[in-house]
């Protein structure tokens, strides 16, 4: 045919072959295995599971391999697969107070029941490239020492401690027994309640939430945050089968939880007290959960009678633009042919220019 | 859970103690049958007044006709509360829809996404069903009204989107007030209910846009 | 909880092992109910629980979900993008349905029972036995004037379209004409303001009193809307500035058609160009019938050179033709 963009199926198939070849890279280098990705790229796997909304380390590793390490593409792959899965039902809410904690830090108290547990963290690494990791023979089998004493079985959450004094708002369900919103099954409607907002943020792009959370710290919707607590560990997942009528444990998941504590001056109805911002993610996603908690708190402006002036407080702005699968698709759809519309615009511009020229000629005469 | 798995999925809540053995079967081929039936429903809704026919085999439960049953089996599931009128509201029929669709059954007509009317003469007035709201007119009820005939009743002239010029519908067995109520229904557009009229294997769509001549 | 199982991990993207037409039955039922409501309230955008499709948002996921919910084994599907059957995205979507729904595909407008389109309405008239499914990037006609969903929804609810009228009138005041050449807003059944999708305004009049059912799917924005057959669709205008479609001084250089939407094809670096039908099937059929355009010699030479340089070794056109059978 007559225009270069008219590719046809052969071009598509050839393009896929090129992708496969590039993905494999130099054949002299051993091919990555899913286990290598799963075990040595855990944080990438965690992000893909979180934003892909599917807790499955194997599939996330596969998606990362298939996407050549492009995490947004991997998230898309996982989402598209998730859509096709059968729903068995809803689990009970996880109880992070019962978490098998591996890391727990609070910026609000120096010491507290359960203690500060630094756990695995990049926080105090010196960001110097570690050339030992580049060595041909690898790093061997590094091992961390085991503490003499076990971590407490059950570590109270900082927010629960504050709650005893009534200094922080209570964490209440919305007062209805209705089902929790699920934006993968029903479209968002506005105003959006907190269940839908939190689900949206949990699936939202880490970079987008990071920038928005940061903007609140810089004054675009200041909300005086303290990192009340960040905890990482394993929690049990329970499910109530219809035929049993009581919960049984069906597995455990690793989650990161962040509870931000924010100052609140009070309103006509509410006394001055601390308010909450909440972040939760699969795996170890600390930056994401902290940013999520900041944005969650900012989005509560309507509920707390605060003025809505900044992007992070604007729920339509945040919720409609947080999803990187949607955003990536729509930004990149601009590379699809638009030549019918462009032709229409060409005609219009030519017509407008003719009129412009005529007007100028008349003005000059 | 697996044994009782219905097309609507395990979330479907049926009254306890459905006797599976006595239930009539649903669609023989859920995927392709429901696709074919949907296209008939779509054509009916897109071309109001046009009498469409269901061809496939379906063993409809008493007192329902094939068209009535096919429409509901195709459209209802756990997300669509179903209201059933008093004549059809029998344990076997409740069991049938609970099992095959998993749809919640509601007592109040206002709460229904779908309503099954088998006794049209005594059906509730149209205003007693969900009409939608200004910003979401789609949140309104769809009624399936089973009649004795769609071709042998008094003639009603229909106009509106989907109809080229005009068409004549001859539905038999509608209550006296029906077309009067229908004018009120159409008059509050975009709010209002949408209706499928059925008889035997035939079905006609009456979207809220249909205007009837006085 | 999804199973973690390496055996099933091969499934994504493989195409096999998925339900007919990809979507699960519960999703299809939900979409089907929305389509019926969309038909009952012409031009109103019904929110639907849009699913993630295995193609990117913005690439036709809404149209695909609508098509997947209506298509059956007896259907014959045609897919066009910019009016052409052989653009990569059209080929890709047709391939998707041939693979997941095993339906017959065609490039011939009159043979299709369902036509999925992006940015064009076919030149050939459509019939009552056909359905036209539009891919919709942005369903909200008011969005460019009012970004907020809450506000737009109110305007539709109370038929307050003054903002749009003012905007169009400002165009006239400033440019002497309405400076919208595609996605030109229409009123459906005298009630709802509707985006016709980014079709050129050339195609707007075809939508009015159209014999076929027209369905619109916006995947990313999660909206479905419809125009039933024989429904009044009016492009917004003013008494002193009536709506007018694009016109070309040229005819199609290939088939000589005088009243089709034409693509401008650049032939060389020195301003050489020709115009050809955007509807590739329409143009091809006319040429087969013996119609010829006035392709000038110089242009013909440049065109031949361009095609020669760009043609794939085994011929794109042949591949696209044969693709339906695979």
Whole-complex ipTM: 0.92
Choose the closest CB to C229 out of B47, B113, B138: B47
Interface check for A242 against chain B (CB to CB < 8 A): the answer is yes
CB distance A3 to C273 below 8 Å: no
- Cross-chain residue pair A337–C81, CB shorter than 8 Å: yes
Q: Could you state, in order of their start, the residue ranges of all structural domains in chain C?
A: 17-235, 247-307
3-state secondary structure C89-102: HHHHHHHHHHHHCC
Closest CA to A170 of A281, A273, A99, A265: A273
- The boundaries of the domain holding residue B145 are 25-205
Hey, which residues 137-156 in chain C have their CB within 8 Å of chain A? 137, 147-150
pLDDT tens digits, residue range C56-107?
A: 999 999 999 999 999 999 999 999 999 999 888 899 999 899 989 999 999 9
Q: Is B15 part of a structural domain of the chain?
A: no
On the CB side of B78, CA atoms within 13 Å amount to: 17
- Cross-chain residue pair C316–A10, CB shorter than 8 Å: yes
How far A189 CA sits from the closest chain C CA (Å)? 9
**CATH code (residue B183):** 3.40.50.11310
Whether residue C10 is predicted with pLDDT greater than 60 in this model: the reply is no
pLDDT of residue B10: 38
Interface check for C295 against chain A (CB to CB < 8 A): the answer is no
- Fold exhibited by the domain C17-235: Rossmann fold (3.40.50)
pLDDT of residue A248: 96
Task: Please state, in angstroms and rounded to a whole number, the distance separating the CA atoms of residues A71 and A47.
Answer: 8
Show which residues of C are catalytic: 43, 252, 255, 277, 283
Task: Please state, in angstroms and rounded to a whole number, the distance separating the CA atoms of residues A155 and A187.
Answer: 38
Residue A154: which region, alpha, beta or left (left: phi > 0; alpha: psi -120 to 50)? beta
pLDDT tens digits, residue range A258-310?
A: 999 998 777 777 788 899 999 999 999 999 999 999 999 999 999 888 899 99
Q: Which of C16, C24, C82 to mutate to test the interface with A (most CBs of A within 10 A)?
A: C82
Interface check for B9 against chain A (CB to CB < 8 A): the answer is yes
- Cross-chain residue pair C41–B164, CB shorter than 8 Å: no
pLDDT tens digits, residue range A234-257?
A: 999 999 988 888 999 999 999 999
Q: What is the 8-class DSSP label of residue B61?
A: P
Instruction: Say if residue C168 is exposed, middle or buried (CB neighbours under 10 Å; 0-12, 13-18, 19+).
Output: buried
CB distance C29 to B77 below 8 Å: yes
Q: Could you state, in order of their start, the residue ranges of all structural domains in chain A?
A: 9-82, 96-121+146-327
| Predicted structure pTM score | 0.89
Interface check for A245 against chain B (CB to CB < 8 A): the answer is no
pLDDT tens digits, residue range C170-185?
A: 999 988 889 899 999 9
Q: pLDDT-based confidence at A339, cuts 50/70/90?
A: confident
Contacts of A220 (CB under 8 A, 6+ apart): A310, A311, A312
Q: Where are the beta strands (DSSP E) in chain A?
A: 100-105, 225-239, 248-262, 275-282
Taking CA atoms, what residue in B is nearest to A242?
A: B1
CB distance C156 to C193 below 8 Å: yes
Q: Which of A60, A84, A241 to mutate to test the interface with C (most CBs of C within 10 A)?
A: A84
Whether residue C241 is predicted with pLDDT greater than 80 in this model: the reply is yes
pLDDT tens digits, residue range A40-64?
A: 999 999 999 999 999 999 999 999 9
**Lowest mean pLDDT across A86-100, B31-45, B178-192, C211-225:** A86-100
How far A93 CA sits from the closest chain B CA (Å)? 18
pLDDT of residue B18: 61
Q: Is B200 part of a structural domain of the chain?
A: yes
Mean pLDDT of A14-20: 95
pLDDT of residue C220: 95
Contacts of B11 in chain A (CB under 8 A): 87, 89
- Cross-chain residue pair A76–C56, CB shorter than 8 Å: yes
**Lowest mean pLDDT across A10-14, A194-198, A227-231, B104-108:** A10-14
Task: Please state, in angstroms and rounded to a whole number, the distance separating the CA atoms of residues A308 and A293.
Answer: 17
Taking CA atoms, what residue in B is nearest to A88?
A: B10
Q: Is B38 part of a structural domain of the chain?
A: yes
Task: Please state, in angstroms and rounded to a whole number, the distance separating the CA atoms of residues A220 and A299.
Answer: 12
- Cross-chain residue pair B138–C38, CB shorter than 8 Å: yes
Q: Is B195 part of a structural domain of the chain?
A: yes
* Dihedral pair phi/psi, residue A66, rounded to 5°: -60, -35
pLDDT tens digits, residue range B156-212?
A: 999 999 999 999 999 999 999 999 999 999 999 999 999 999 999 999 999 999 999
Mean pLDDT of C251-280: 90
pLDDT of residue C271: 81
**Sheet with C186-188: strands ordered across:** C192-194, C186-188, C233-235
Contacts of C230 in chain B (CB under 8 A): 161-164
């Amino acid at each position: 045919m007559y225009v270069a963009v008219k590719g046809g199926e052969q071009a598509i198939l050839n393009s896929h072959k090129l992708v496969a070849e590039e993905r494999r890279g130099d054949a002299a280098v051993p091919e990555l295995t899913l286990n290598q990705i799963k075990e040595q790229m855990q944080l990438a796997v965690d992000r893909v599971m979180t934003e892909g909304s599917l807790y499955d380390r194997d599939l996330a590793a596969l998606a990362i391999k298939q996407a050549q390490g492009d995490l947004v593409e991997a998230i898309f792959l996982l989402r598209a697969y998730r859509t096709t899965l059968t729903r068995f039902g809803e689990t009970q809410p996880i109880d992070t107070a019962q978490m098998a904690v591996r890391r727990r830090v609070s910026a609000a108290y120096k010491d507290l029941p359960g203690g500060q547990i630094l756990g695995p963290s990049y926080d105090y690494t010196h960001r110097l490239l570690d050339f030992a990791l580049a060595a041909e023979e690898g790093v061997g089998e590094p091992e961390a020492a085991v503490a003499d004493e076990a971590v407490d079985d059950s570590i109270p959450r900082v927010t629960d401690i504050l709650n005893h004094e009534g200094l922080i708002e209570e964490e209440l369900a919305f007062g209805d027994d209705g089902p929790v919103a699920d934006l993968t099954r029903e479209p968002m409607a506005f105003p959006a309640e907190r269940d839908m907002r939190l689900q949206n943020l949990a699936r939202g792009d880490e970079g987008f939430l990071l920038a928005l959370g940061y903007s609140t710290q810089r004054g675009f919707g200041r909300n005086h945050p303290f990192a009340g607590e960040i905890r990482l560990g394993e929690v049990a997942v329970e499910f109530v089968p219809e035929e049993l009528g009581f919960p049984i444990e069906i597995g455990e998941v690793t989650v990161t939880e962040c509870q931000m504590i924010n100052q609140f001056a009070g309103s006509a109805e509410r006394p001055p007290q601390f308010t909450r911002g909440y972040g939760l993610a699969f795996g170890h996603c600390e930056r994401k959960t902290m940013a999520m908690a900041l944005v969650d708190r900012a989005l509560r402006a309507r509920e707390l009678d605060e003025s809505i002036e900044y992007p992070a407080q604007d729920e339509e702005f945040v919720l409609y633009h947080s999803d990187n699968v949607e955003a990536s698709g729509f930004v990149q759809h601009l590379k699809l042919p638009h030549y019918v519309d462009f032709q229409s615009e060409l005609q219009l511009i030519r017509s407008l220019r003719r009129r412009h020229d005529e007007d100028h000629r008349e003005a000059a005469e | 859970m697996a044994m009782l798995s219905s097309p609507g999925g395990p979330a479907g809540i049926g009254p306890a103690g459905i006797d599976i053995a006595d239930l009539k079967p649903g669609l023989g081929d859920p995927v392709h049958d429901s696709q074919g039936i949907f296209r008939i429903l779509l054509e009916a809704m897109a071309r109001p007044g046009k009498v469409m026919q269901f061809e496939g085999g379906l063993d409809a439960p008493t007192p329902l006709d094939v068209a009535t049953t096919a429409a509901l089996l195709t459209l209802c599931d756990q997300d669509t509360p179903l209201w059933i009128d008093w004549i059809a509201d029998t344990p076997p029929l409740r069991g049938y829809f609970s099992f095959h669709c998993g749809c919640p059954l509601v007592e109040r007509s206002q709460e229904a996404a779908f309503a099954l009317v088998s006794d049209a003469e005594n059906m509730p007035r149209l205003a007693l069903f969900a009409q939608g709201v200004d910003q979401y007119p789609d949140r309104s009820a769809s009624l399936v009204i089973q009649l004795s005939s769609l071709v042998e009743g008094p003639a009603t002239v229909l106009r509106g989107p989907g109809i080229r010029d005009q068409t004549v519908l001859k539905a038999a067995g509608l209550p006296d007030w029906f077309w009067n109520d229908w004018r009120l229904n159409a008059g509050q557009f975009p709010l209002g209910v949408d209706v499928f009229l059925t008889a035997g294997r035939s079905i006609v769509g009456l979207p809220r846009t249909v205007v009837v001549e006085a | 909880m999804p199973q973690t199982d390496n055996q099933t991990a091969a499934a994504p993207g493989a195409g096999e092992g998925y339900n007919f037409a990809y979507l699960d039955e519960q999703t299809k039922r939900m979409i089907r109910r929305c389509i019926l409501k969309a038909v009952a309230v012409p031009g109103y955008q019904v929110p639907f629980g849009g699913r993630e499709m295995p193609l990117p948002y913005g690439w036709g996921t809404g149209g695909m979900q609508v098509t997947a919910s209506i298509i059956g084994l007896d259907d014959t599907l045609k897919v066009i993008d910019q009016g052409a059957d052989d653009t990569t995205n059209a080929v890709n979507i047709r391939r998707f349905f041939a693979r997941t729904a095993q339906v017959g595909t065609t490039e011939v407008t009159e043979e299709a029972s369902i036509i999925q389109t992006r940015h064009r309405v076919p030149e050939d008239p459509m019939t009552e036995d056909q359905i036209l499914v539009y891919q919709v990037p942005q369903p909200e006609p008011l969005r460019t004037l009012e970004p907020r969903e809450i506000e737009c929804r109110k305007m539709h609810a109370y038929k307050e379209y003054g903002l749009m009228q003012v905007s169009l009138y400002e165009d006239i005041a400033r440019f002497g004409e309405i400076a919208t050449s595609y996605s030109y807003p229409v009123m459906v059944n005298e009630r709802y303001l509707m985006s016709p999708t980014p079709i050129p305004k050339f195609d707007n009049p075809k939508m009015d009193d159209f014999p076929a059912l027209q369905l619109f799917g916006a995947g990313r924005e999660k909206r479905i809307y419809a125009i039933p057959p024989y429904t009044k669709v009016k492009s917004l205008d003013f008494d002193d500035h009536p709506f007018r479609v694009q016109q070309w001084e040229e005819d199609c250089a290939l088939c000589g058609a005088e009243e089709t939407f034409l693509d401008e094809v650049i032939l060389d670096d020195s301003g050489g160009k020709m115009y050809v039908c955007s509807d590739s099937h329409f143009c091809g059929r006319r040429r087969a019938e013996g119609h010829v355009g006035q392709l000038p010699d110089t242009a013909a030479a440049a065109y031949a050179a361009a095609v020669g340089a760009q043609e794939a070794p085994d011929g794109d056109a042949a591949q696209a033709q044969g693709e339906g059978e695979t």
